[in-house]
Chains A and B, each alone.
Chain A
């Protein structure tokens, strides 16, 4: 079946640095991808909707200047955490709809970010 990959799977960085996370749809095109954040023992919280060829749509409370999203192709969306702080440490997961316009999702394996 369809697969969504993420890179890197984990990253440790110093406070103040920027981290880029890639999300790829491997055998299908995704005009829309979603970025979630999950803190330990909590649910997934939608951060933003990544739209190919246009600006991302951010959920309330998510700083668009801090979490930069680029969806430059039909198979790649990137999330850049700028000027990372320890409170940004989390599990970041992307997803793409299983069907165009559908609501069920294929999820990537996630990226664990630890900011020291």
Chain B
């Protein structure tokens, strides 16, 4: 399946600071998805990006898909303690299957 590199592995921010995680692939992706996993929890679907250059927003979260469809980012503006968790990007590897990036663990201090 397609591989994605996700960076950083870990980030610790103060509440109110911004946060960005990046996913990169050496090959063109048909789509990319983002999931959030709270500590001790299971992944929860956030969004799917399909189009080149696509930008989608969900309140303080901004998702981007690169023009070449080889990279994507998730940006959180003014983080809150409720944003704590691990954010994974994932790419489809065939019929309904997903390959996950290694995830970025976000810790937010009040």
Tell me, in angstroms, the Cα distance from A51 to B78 when the chains sit together. 43
What residues of chain A lie closer than 8 Å to B31, measured between beta carbons? 103
Q: Chain B: interface secondary structure? A: strand
Tell me, in angstroms, the Cα distance from A101 to B101 when the chains sit together. 22
What residues of chain B lie closer than 8 Å to A77, measured between beta carbons? none
Q: A104-B45, A107-B43 are in contact. Are A43 and B96 (CB under 8 A)?
A: no
Tell me, in angstroms, the Cα distance from A98 to B48 when the chains sit together. 12
Q: Which residue of A lies closest to B10 (CB)?
A: A41
Does A61 count as interface, using CB distance less than 8 angstroms?
Answer: no
Enumerate B48-96 residues with CB–CB distance to A below 8 Å.
48, 88, 92, 95-96
Q: Which residue of B lies closest to A99 (CB)?
A: B96
- Contact, CB under 8 Å: A109 / B98: no
- Number of B interface residues in the complex (CB < 8 A): 21
Does A8 count as interface, using CB distance less than 8 angstroms?
Answer: no
Does B22 count as interface, using CB distance less than 8 angstroms?
Answer: no
Tell me, in angstroms, the Cα distance from A21 to B42 when the chains sit together. 16
Q: In the complex, what's the smallest C-beta–C-beta distance from B19 to chain A, in angstroms? A: 18
- Number of A interface residues in the complex (CB < 8 A): 23
What residues of chain B lie closer than 8 Å to A110, measured between beta carbons? 41-42
Tell me, in angstroms, the Cα distance from A111 to B97 when the chains sit together. 20
Q: A98-B45, A109-B41, A110-B42 are in contact. Are A41 and B98 (CB under 8 A)?
A: no
Q: A103-B92, A107-B42, A107-B43 are in contact. Are A43 and B97 (CB under 8 A)?
A: no
CB-CB contacts of B35-49 with A at 8 A, as 1s and 0s?
100000111110010
- The 9 A-B pairs at the shortest CB distance, nearest first, are namely A103-B92, A107-B42, A97-B96, A43-B102, A43-B100, A44-B100, A110-B42, A107-B43, A109-B42
- A contact residues vs B (CB 8 Å cutoff): 32, 34, 41-46, 49, 93, 95, 97-98, 101-110
